[in-house]
């Protein structure tokens, strides 16, 4: 079986071929061009699918709240305009005639971690990814908890600062306004003498500058605030942190050094780890589910 798997993010669309043993090959990425809106995005996906031969299934991991049973984006912020209500599964299947599975990106990453990565063998865990925004997924009793309207675990929109920064969701003070990779870049570039992306920030010549280190440390404190709220709400045995920025050892090490002293004793048994599948987690998660389609 050849599955063409996509991971639609706010900046890039990543895609790869997945075989029956869930090995990924032919990895590619193209700009999302999210500002063009949902219709243009799906047309881009369809064009990519039609450029391949002998595809048996299509698997879509996407930003937004997703009804995975029907393959519909039930809600999306303005990060991708006019995406809410998009019938992704129907549009792709009508054009390509290939069975298609669609899931929220962080739910997909959680599935990938549960089957192949840092949460393999775990029945209960929380997954968060840090990028343009912050996404969450809740894995309970060996399966995703989706909520009453397929919208559970919008952890990036927990309110952590009352009356705080304006968020794309329409609210104020949301977790992702302070603890996303996008927020870090914005904060650092206010004090840096040159523009830096998320990965350049952690290069030795930059992270050792006191003004940059200070902004990074304050940003990690914001991450910890959200994690503590999640730990006190769910009392999970495991939290998996994903997103490319979490590959930076400095972040994980500082979280580990600081968070446990802030927790009540009976919550300190939580294990906080980085994703093992990395940027492949969502691709693997949706490919695994797409393989079940008839």
For the chain, give every domain's residue range. 3-109+279-291, 121-274
9 pLDDT more than 90: no
Q: Which long-range contacts (CB under 8 A, 24 or more apart) does 221-224 make?
A: 221/258, 222/160, 222/175, 222/178, 222/179, 222/183, 223/130, 223/179, 223/251, 223/255, 224/255, 224/258, 224/259, 224/262
- Whether 70 contacts 89, CB under 8 Å: yes
pLDDT the model gives residue 168? 87
- pLDDT(51) > 90: yes
What span, in angstroms and rounded, lies between the C-alpha atoms of 140 and 62? 21
Task: Check residue 11 and give its pLDDT.
Answer: 82
Q: What local confidence, expressed as pLDDT, does residue 77 receive?
A: 81
Q: Is the pLDDT at 101 greater than 90, yes or no?
A: yes
Rounded average pLDDT over 49-61: 96
The CATH class for the domain spanning 3-109+279-291 reads alpha beta
Do the domains at 3-109+279-291 and 121-274 have one common CATH topology?
yes
Q: Is 184 helix (H, G, I), strand (E, B) or coil?
A: helix
* 150 band by pLDDT with thresholds 50, 70 and 90: confident
Confidence of residue 132 (pLDDT cuts 50, 70, 90): confident
Residue 273, pLDDT score:
96
pTM over 0.85: yes
Residues 255-266: pLDDT tens digits? 999 999 999 999
Encode pLDDT of 222-256 as tens digits. Answer: 999 999 999 999 999 999 999 889 999 999 999 99
Average pLDDT along the chain: 95
**pLDDT tens sequence across 169-208:** 899 999 999 999 999 999 999 999 999 999 999 999 999 9
Superfamily the domain 121-274 falls into: ATPase, nucleotide binding domain (3.30.420.40)
């Amino acid at each position: 079986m050849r599955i063409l798997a996509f991971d639609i993010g706010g900046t890039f669309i990543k895609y790869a071929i997945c075989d029956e043993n869930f090995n990924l090959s032919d990895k590619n990425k193209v700009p999302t061009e999210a500002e063009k809106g949902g219709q243009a995005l799906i047309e881009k996906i369809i064009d990519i699918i039609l450029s391949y031969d002998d595809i048996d299934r299509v698997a879509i991991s996407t930003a937004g709240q997703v009804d995975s049973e029907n393959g519909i984006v039930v809600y999306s912020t303005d990060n991708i305009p006019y995406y809410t209500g998009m019938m992704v599964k129907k549009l792709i299947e009508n054009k390509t005639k290939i069975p298609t599975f669609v899931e929220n990106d962080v739910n997909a990453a959680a599935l990938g971690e549960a089957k192949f990565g840092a949460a393999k063998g775990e029945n209960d865990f929380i997954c968060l990814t840090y990028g343009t925004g912050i996404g969450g997924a809740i894995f309970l009793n060996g399966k995703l908890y989706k909520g009453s309207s397929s919208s559970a675990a919008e952890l990036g929109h927990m309110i952590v600062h009352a009356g705080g920064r304006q968020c794309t969701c329409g609210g104020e003070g949301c977790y992702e306004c302070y603890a996303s990779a996008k927020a870090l870049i914005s904060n650092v570039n206010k004090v840096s003498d040159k523009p830096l992306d998320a990965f350049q920030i952690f290069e030795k010549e930059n992270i050792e500058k006191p003004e940059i280190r200070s902004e990074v440390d304050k940003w990690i404190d914001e991450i910890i605030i959200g994690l503590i709220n999640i730990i006190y709400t769910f009392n999970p045995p495991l939290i998996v942190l994903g997103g490319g920025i979490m590959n930076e050892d400095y972040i994980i090490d500082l979280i580990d050094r600081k968070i446990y002293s802030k927790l009540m004793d009976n919550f300190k048994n939580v294990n906080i780890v980085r994703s093992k599948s990395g940027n492949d987690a969502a691709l693997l998660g949706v490919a695994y589910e797409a393989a079940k389609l008839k």
